[in-house]
Amino acid sequence: MLELILSKTILIVFSLAVLIVSGSMISSFYSEQERDETRIAFQRIVSVVDQGIASGTEFLIRLEMSDYLDTESVLQIGNGSMILFHRDQSYSTSLPDNDRLVLLDVGGSERTTIEVGHDDVLVIERTWTDDALQTSIYIENVDATFSTALMNRSTSSKVL
């Protein structure tokens, strides 16, 4: 009887050990996959910005950050660089300094750095100002855009 209890106890202990080891392997796999997805999303953002700036012309790019960032991610732009923070990891790159860069917050005030989250819309606009190209990066105020669109719709229906 003692041998039966001892063998079942050893079986339970080994089963728990296998369960813990396999759980940590699965967790490690998903963690690595999430890290890769974050890195790829950051590379996509950098690629869009680089292609726009390399064009040498005026442009307007709107990036819905929900397509690129996880809810726990924050993209910080400023001081000549872009840094993506996601949990315990970060990815960074430097911004081209061949033209003037202006960073604006949601209210339209000029800042040295801005932080972009999952629910934001990042706008990168490049225009000629005083015979030089100027790049403006700002967070679009989505609430104001929607309220303006609704107001325009009601106004146009009254006109018709």
The predicted-structure confidence for 44-80, as pLDDT tens digits, reads as follows: 988 888 887 777 788 898 989 888 888 888 999 887 8
One-character DSSP codes across 65-87: GGGT--TTEEEEEETTEEEEEET
| pLDDT in the model for residue 54 | 75
Rounded Cα gap, residues 25 and 29, in angstroms: 6
Count CB atoms within 10 A of the CB of residue 53.
18
C-alpha pair distances (Å), 104 with each of 5, 88, 160: 70, 27, 38
Residue 140 vs residues 10, 32, 71, 108: alpha-carbon distances, Å: 61, 32, 18, 9
pTM across the whole model:
0.66
> What is the three-class DSSP state of 128?
strand
Model pLDDT, residue 64 = 92
Instruction: Delimit the domains of the chain by residue range.
Output: 2-159
* Model pLDDT, residue 156: 42
